[in-house]
Amino acid sequence: MVDTKKTEEVQVIIPANEIDKVSDEKWEPKIIAFLCNWCSYAGADLAGVSRIQYPPNVRVVRVPCSGRINPLFILKSLQVGWDAVLVSGCHPGDCHYISGNYYARRKFSVLDDLLEFIGIDKGRINFSWVSAAEGEAFAKVIRKITKKTRQLGPNTIFKEDQ
């Protein structure tokens, strides 16, 4: 699904061709996670070094701040076929850039409400606060989202009947 040309602007940690390994016969949800560099990305790192297990369905994109996320990134991800999107940043008050996550919170709630309003399943887009010290919390969030996405099924967003 990943078009390398389209994502060359952001750093993709998992090589694009690995995504192809998920076979179509046995559908596995694919989740794109935009993680803030200072908290959630470090939290994911901590989950890794602590050997905490979580589902391998998530692909991480590191961003400077959750405030960097344009709602268009999220909509575009869903449009090109990611089954769910996660945006995660620092807890309120902890933002490395003082207030980025507060602005992000307002943008996300607009997007969340709007998608619900036009009749798209809640749960395709997810937002969370995960700090650098919360490896276990990160794993829990991923487990929860993967389970939810599995229930929702493959993404047909904006295409057919929801």
Contact set with other proteins (CB under 8 A): 1-3, 6, 9, 19-20, 71-72, 75-76, 79-81, 86, 92-93, 99, 102-103, 105-121, 126-129, 134, 137, 140-141, 144-145, 157-159, 161-162
> Is residue 88 within 8 Å of 33, Cβ to Cβ?
yes
66 in the Ramachandran plot: left (φ > 0), alpha (ψ -120 to 50) or beta?
alpha
* H runs (alpha helix) in the chain: 16-19, 40-49, 71-80, 100-117, 135-152
Least Å from the CB of residue 141 to other proteins: 6
Identify which of residues 1 and 12 has a Cβ nearer to other proteins in the complex: 1
Q: Report, in Å, the least distance between residue 51 CB and other proteins.
A: 19
Q: Are 14 and 56 in contact, with CB atoms under 8 Å apart?
A: no
CB of 101 to other proteins, least distance (A): 9
* 77, 82, 84, 89 alpha-carbon torsion, rounded to 10°: -50
- Kindly state the smallest distance separating residue 66's Cβ from other proteins, in Å: 11
CB of residue 8 to other proteins, shortest distance in Å: 9
- φ, ψ of residue 124 in degrees (nearest 5): -70, -35
- CA 62/CA 85 separation, integer angstroms: 13
